[in-house]
């Protein structure tokens, strides 16, 4: 069995593949999600997590051109002997692939300091500019090969169009002849197999000269090509054959060029599939506020606030789009756990009652480890994961269900596989060790197994409800106890994992709450006290100490949260001040702009009247008009408007307050200080002083 294979089968890893595939934008990304497996290489894992982490940040401001990405390499054979050229649609998908590659490369390499991992990934994305630019010149996605692809093709299509029009007019003229009108079944010319035919009633066949090219299903209508246009019809078919030959020649030429670059295209397609899958991981991680774990070189496994990823997915509101997660409600439904393994304890023994959450705790650790070793963000607030070479799991009684074995035999069969394959770099998760047989023998076997694990330096987390197994952690420094918390008042498990103490079954507390007589309970307590009083006393004292520490921890956490709230409020006030300042500046610009426009409106008729003065005073008037204009332009707002107008580019949107409209810039004449703006589809020439960055609705 391959490493991690059994763990993948029983830890909902396949479900996580499906979830990640749902976040992918293309079939290529979904394919990689379906093939996801853990990777036992530390450097590779650090690189994968860095790419995902940086991409999460990049996607906040950038959308990558990955939608519609498809497999273009399938069908590109090594040679063209006896085959067909690539269809125009396939060639255009090659262009889409190349354009996506160029867009991703530019996005990834735009800020090397901020995104070093993405920059390294983007640098390796290949581009084929000649192919990317040539195919769209020759191929149209909807029309096929363009007429401009060759002079010969353009000439043939002109001849075909002219001849088709001639044939259509000739056939239509015959339809309208009064002496033939009653011969026709309908008033339209029919085009069949590129021939222009007339629908003639079968009883009038002798009235119409020309070959019968087709007939209706009932036989009552004959489709005849009039004798007068047969020769032109034959010529049309010849032209169409020559057109098809030229189209094929062009398609073959492009096909050979694509096939010459098939290796580069395969590499590009693989790189973009990886990018799309990384986008899926990043988007999923952002939706559930996941983290990229630290990949450690030592043996320490450390998880803080770890939650089961698949339970979080199941806890979402299924009535909403899965990309719109209400995270608050999910976090309240899935209880987090803190767990540490490897320093100093290499084995963790989790005890507690059945249905108390021990199995979910094991699965939470196992699935998060698998995802971390697959380069996928995990559900925790902090995490450090060692690079395990395998994960051995025996959870529940899946063996007995599949192979009709007893629960005990099923556990033993899986245990044999673990003892054969585990190493010091493996992680072992055992559920209900020693169960399914006599408690005394089960506990003895469990103790022997743990001794064997310790002797070999193996790392393991085991769960058990056997009371005698609680003592094991007290006897060995490299073994630690943990318990699943149980609320004796509500008689319900809290599903919280408490490190450092063994758990109780709480059977007597439950019995008392359910009304079992005190006489029976007292007798049970006396028997327990006789057999296990020393152990229980230790556990009780540790539980009191744990509660005190836990109370302090919660208080410290509350203080930290209050500090975070204060920081958030402070940041919010700063943002509010910034927004208000921008609003005031905008209001000031708007008011000054209104005043300037009113001043210009008042001064214009005065300046126009002064232009009628005698010729001797005209230079003085022109100088005055220029000074007025320079005064208006020279104000801070005027200079701001001038800079805004000169920075505009074609297709930029601007407001034109005097026309109360908004349009796109078509042309800019900086020397004349004029723009051509398309307003409601009409090109309109306006001056630099007539445009604004302020929305026209604010005037």
698 pLDDT band (50/70/90 cuts)?
Answer: very low
Residue 639: alpha-carbon gap to chain centroid? 44
List own/partner pairs for 450-457 with CB under 8 A and 24 or more apart: 450/347, 450/349, 450/479, 452/419, 453/346, 453/347, 453/428, 454/346, 454/347, 454/478, 454/479, 456/422, 456/424, 457/346, 457/424
In this predicted model, what pLDDT tens digit does every residue of 205-217 receive, in sequence order?
A: 989 899 999 999 9
**Tokens of residue 295, six digits:** 């990949």
Q: Is the pLDDT of residue 541 over 60?
A: no
**What is the C-alpha to C-alpha distance for residues 411 and 429, in angstroms, rounded to an integer?**
12
Residue 524 falls in which region: left (phi positive, over 0), alpha (psi -120 to 50) or beta: alpha
Backbone angles phi, psi at 223, to 5 degrees: -100, 105
Q: What is the pLDDT of residue 411?
A: 74
pLDDT tens-digit series, residues 145-179: 999 999 999 999 999 999 999 999 999 999 888 88
Query: CATH number of the domain at 149-245, out of 1.10.1420.10, 2.60.40.420, 3.40.50.300, 1.20.1240.10?
Result: 1.10.1420.10
At what angle are helices 262-287 and 13-23 packed, to 10 degrees?
A: 110
Q: Which sign does the torsion angle of CA 400, 405, 411, 416 carry?
A: negative
Taking each helix axis from N to C terminus, what angle separates 439-456 and 407-421, rounded to the nearest 10 degrees?
Answer: 10
286: how many CB neighbours lie within 10 A of its CB?
A: 19
> Any bridge partners for residue 341, and if so which?
301
CB atoms within 10 A of CB 305: 15
Average pLDDT over residues 201-208: 90
Integer Cα distance of 502 and 643 in angstroms: 73
Percent above pLDDT 90 for the chain: 49
CA atoms within 13 A on the CB side of 43: 0
**Is the confidence at residue 597, as pLDDT, over 70?**
no
Tokens representing 357 are 């959450």
**pLDDT value, residue 401:** 38
Give the whole-number percent of the chain exceeding pLDDT 70: 80
Tracing tokens 């994968």 back to the chain, one arrives at 48
* Neighbour tally for 359: CB within 10 Å: 18
Yes or no: say if 156 and 135 are a contact pair by the CB < 8 Å rule.
Answer: no
Closest CA to 362 of 354, 350, 371, 372: 350
Q: What is the pLDDT of residue 580?
A: 60
pLDDT score of 297 more than 60: yes
Task: Report in angstroms the alpha-carbon separations of 220 from 175, 195, 214.
Answer: 18, 20, 11
Cα-based distances in Å from 85 to 81, 130, 262, 373, 429? 10, 19, 14, 44, 56
CB contact at 8 A, 494 and 475: no
139-159 core/surface letters (b: 16 or more CB in 10 A; e: else): beeeebbbbebbeebeebbee
pLDDT value of position 254? 96
| The CA-based dihedral angle spanning residues 161, 162, 165, 166, taken in that order and rounded to the nearest 10 degrees | -150
Tell me how crowded residue 116 is: count the other CB atoms within 10 A of its CB.
13
Q: What is the CATH number of domain 294-516?
A: 3.40.50.300
For residues 138 and 254, the answer to whether their CB atoms sit within 8 Å is yes
Crossing angle (nearest 10°) for helices 262-287 and 42-58: 70
Orientation angle between helical segments 636-647 and 518-610, nearest 10 degrees: 100
Residue 417, both tokens: 């596989």
For residue 577, pLDDT over 80 is answered with: no
Same fold, 149-245 and 643-698: no
- Beta strand pairing call for 382-386 and 301-306: antiparallel
Highest-scoring range by mean pLDDT, 48-57, 387-396, 484-493, 651-660: 48-57
pLDDT exceeds cutoff 70 at 255: yes
Cα–Cα distance for residue pair 275/489, rounded to 1 Å: 52
Between 90-94, 317-321, 648-652, the lowest mean confidence (pLDDT) is in: 317-321
| Number of C-beta neighbours around residue 664 at 10 A | 14
pLDDT at 683 over 60: yes
**DSSP conformation letters of 387-441:** --SEEEEE-TTHHHHHHT--HHHHHHHHHHHHHHH--TTEEEEESSTT-SS-HHH
Give the residue extent of every domain in the chain: 15-128+261-287, 149-245, 294-516, 643-698
pLDDT over threshold 90, residue 35: yes
Confidence of residue 643 (pLDDT cuts 50, 70, 90): confident
pLDDT for the residue 399: 39
Beta bridge partner(s), residue 493: 486
Mean per-residue pLDDT over the chain, rounded: 84
Check whether 633 has a pLDDT greater than 60: no
Q: Is the pLDDT of residue 538 over 60?
A: no
- Model pTM score: 0.70
Q: For the CA atoms of 591, 597, 599, 605, what is the dihedral angle to 10 degrees? A: -160
| Across 168-197, average pLDDT | 90
d(CA 392, CA 41): 18
Residue 224 pLDDT? 92
pLDDT band for position 483 (cuts 50, 70, 90): confident
Sort 252 into a burial class: Cβ within 10 Å, 0-12 / 13-18 / 19+. middle
Structure token digits, residue 73: 């390499």
Give the CATH number of domain 643-698; options: 3.90.1150.10, 3.30.530.20, 2.30.30.30, 3.30.1490.20: 2.30.30.30
Encode pLDDT of 95-144 as tens digits: 999 999 999 999 999 999 999 999 999 999 999 999 999 999 999 988 89
DSSP letters, 130-160, are: HHHHHHHHHEETTTEE-GGG-HHHHHHHHHH
Per-residue pLDDT tens digits for 380-409:
999 999 999 999 999 865 533 344 455 667
**Would you place residue 579 in the very low, low, confident or very high pLDDT band (cuts 50, 70, 90)?**
low
Rounded Cα gap, residues 351 and 463, in angstroms: 6
**Rounded to whole angstroms, what are the CA distances from 422 to 3, 83, 388, 408?**
10, 53, 10, 21
What is the average pLDDT across 641-653?
Answer: 80
């Amino acid at each position: 069995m391959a490493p991690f294979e059994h763990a993948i089968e029983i830890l909902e890893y396949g479900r996580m593949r499906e979830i990640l595939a749902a976040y992918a934008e293309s079939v290529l990304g979904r394919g990689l999600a379906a093939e996801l497996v853990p990777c036992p290489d530390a450097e590779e894992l650090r690189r994968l997590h860095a790419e995902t982490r940086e991409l999460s940040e990049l996607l906040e401001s950038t959308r990558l051109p990955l939608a519609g990405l498809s497999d273009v390499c399938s069908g590109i054979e090594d040679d063209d002997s006896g085959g067909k050229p690539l269809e125009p649609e396939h060639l255009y998908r090659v262009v889409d692939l190349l354009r996506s590659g160029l867009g991703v490369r530019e996005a990834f390499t735009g800020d090397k300091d901020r995104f070093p991992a993405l920059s390294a990934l983007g640098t390796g994305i290949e581009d084929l500019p000649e192919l990317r630019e040539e195919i769209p010149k020759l191929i149209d996605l909807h029309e096929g090969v363009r007429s401009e692809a060759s002079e010969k093709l353009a000439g043939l299509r002109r001849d075909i169009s002219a001849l088709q029009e001639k044939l259509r007019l000739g056939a239509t003229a015959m339809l309208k002849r009064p002496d033939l009108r009653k011969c026709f079944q309908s008033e339209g010319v029919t085009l069949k197999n590129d021939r222009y035919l007339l629908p003639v009633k079968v009883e009038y066949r002798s009235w119409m000269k020309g070959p019968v090219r087709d007939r209706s299903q009932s036989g009552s209508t004959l489709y005849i090509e009039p004798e007068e246009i047969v020769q032109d019809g034959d010529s049309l078919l010849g032209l169409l054959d020559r057109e098809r030959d030229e189209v094929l020649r062009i398609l073959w030429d492009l096909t050979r060029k694509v096939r010459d670059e098939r290796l580069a295209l395969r590499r590009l397609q693989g790189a973009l599939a990886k990018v799309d899958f990384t986008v899926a991981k990043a988007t999923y991680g952002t939706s559930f506020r996941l983290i990229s774990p630290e990949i450690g070189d030592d043996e320490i496994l450390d998880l803080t606030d770890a939650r089961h990823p698949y339970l979080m997915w199941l806890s979402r509101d299924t009535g909403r789009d899965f990309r719109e997660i209400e995270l608050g409600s999910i976090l309240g439904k899935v209880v987090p756990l803190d767990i540490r393994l490897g320093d100093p304890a290499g084995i963790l023994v989790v005890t507690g009652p059945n249905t108390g959450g021990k199995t979910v705790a094991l699965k939470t650790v196992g699935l998060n480890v698998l995802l971390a070793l697959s380069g996928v963000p995990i559900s925790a607030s902090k995490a450090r994961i060692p690079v395990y070479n395998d994960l051995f799991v025996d959870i529940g009684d899946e063996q007995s269900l599949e192979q009709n074995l007893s629960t005990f035999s099923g556990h033993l069969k899986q245990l044999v596989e673990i003892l054969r394959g585990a190493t010091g770099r493996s992680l072992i998760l055992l559920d209900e060790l020693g169960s399914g047989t006599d408690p005394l023998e089960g506990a003895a076997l469990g103790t022997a197994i743990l001794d064997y694990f310790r002797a070999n330096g193996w790392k393991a987390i085991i769960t058990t409800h056997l009371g005698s197994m609680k003592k094991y952690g007290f006897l060995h420094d490299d073994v630690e106890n943990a318990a699943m918390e149980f609320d004796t008042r509500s008689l319900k498990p809290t599903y919280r994992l408490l490190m450092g103490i063994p758990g109780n079954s709480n059977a007597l507390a439950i019995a008392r709450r359910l009304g079992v007589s005190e006489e029976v309970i007292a007798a049970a307590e006396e028997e327990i006290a006789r057999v296990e009083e020393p152990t229980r006393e230790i556990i009780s004292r540790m539980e009191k100490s744990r509660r005190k520490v836990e109370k302090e921890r919660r208080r410290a956490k509350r203080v930290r949260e209050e500090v975070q709230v204060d920081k958030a409020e402070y940041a919010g006030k700063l943002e509010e001040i910034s927004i208000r300042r921008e609003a005031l500046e905008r209001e000031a610009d708007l008011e000054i702009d209104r005043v300037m426009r009113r001043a210009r409106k008042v001064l214009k008729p005065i300046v126009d009247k002064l232009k009628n003065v005698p010729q001797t005073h005209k230079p003085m008037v022109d100088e005055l008009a220029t000074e007025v204009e320079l005064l208006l332009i020279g104000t801070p707002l005027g200079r701001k408007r001038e800079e805004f107008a000169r920075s505009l580019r074609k297709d930029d949107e601007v407001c034109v307050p005097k026309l109360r409209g908004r349009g796109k810039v078509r042309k800019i004449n900086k020397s004349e200080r004029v723009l051509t703006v398309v307003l409601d589809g009409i090109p309109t020439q306006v001056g630099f002083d007539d445009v604004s960055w302020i929305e026209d609705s604010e005037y």
